[in-house]
Amino acid sequence: MSSIPAQTAPSPAADDDRRALRARLLAQRAALPARAEADTRIAAALSELLAGLAVRCLGFYWPIQQEFDARAAVAQWLAAVPGRHAALPSVSRPGAPLDFHLWTPDAPMATGHYGIPVPDGTEAATPDALLIPCVGFSPDKFRLGYGGGFYDRTLAAMAQRPVAIGIGYDACRIALQAQPHDIAMDWIVTESGAF
């Protein structure tokens, strides 16, 4: 099993810069105008992208802090072709890769770490594609998350790397200096489409 490569710790100033950037982007996302229209366009772009990928198990996220809510798009994707599966992540412990468990719209849910709902008692799954929320993202497809490193750690640890699809809003496209442990997304989906 691989892990995030060892690295020199970023300077406190770099950490402070990322914290300030994250706070600014979260406030920006919370204040987005025409949010419903943007979400409709993200859902359409995501559906079009997924239709062109040979994905059998799609990992996604439970929306928090004004993230795009992918549940309806994932439910439609599941219903379109028999044999597809979806999975939600759960945190087994801080510093560990995410675990994924099967999800359907009627799956029983429990409260996981950080108060985020997780499937309750469903089978473990290994997604071949992941929808990953972006607080911010760069033109070269690096993402800024919440700072826990869960998705970078998970992508680095998976034996078969899944297709990584970042989900964000155009207003959160930024210049971002990638850190050694950062893993670029394969795709970014916003209200302007998939790139």
Lateral strand order in the sheet of 193-194: 99-103, 85-90, 57-59, 129-133, 163-167, 187-190, 193-194
DSSP H helical ranges for 35-181: 35-51, 71-80, 150-157
* 100 annotated as ligand-binding: no
118's enclosing H/E stretch is strand 117-119
* 68 annotated as ligand-binding: no
* 115 annotated as ligand-binding: no
* 18 annotated as ligand-binding: yes
Dmax over Cα atoms in the chain, in whole Å? Answer: 50
* 71 annotated as ligand-binding: no
Report how far apart, in Å, the C-alpha atoms of 76 and of each of 50, 132, 147, 182 are: 11, 18, 31, 31
* 147 annotated as ligand-binding: yes
* 149 annotated as ligand-binding: yes
* 166 annotated as ligand-binding: no
The single-letter DSSP state of residue 189 is E
Q: Which of 121, 132, 126 is nearest to 160 (CA)?
A: 126
| 64 token code pair | 């928090």
* 35 annotated as ligand-binding: no
* 146 annotated as ligand-binding: yes
Q: What is the DSSP string of 146-188?
A: SSS-HHHHHHHH-SSPPEEEEE--GGGB------TT----SEE
* 164 annotated as ligand-binding: no
* 195 annotated as ligand-binding: no
* 143 annotated as ligand-binding: yes
Binding residues: 18-22, 67, 143-151
Binding residues for ATP: 18-22, 143-151
Binding residues for substrate: 67
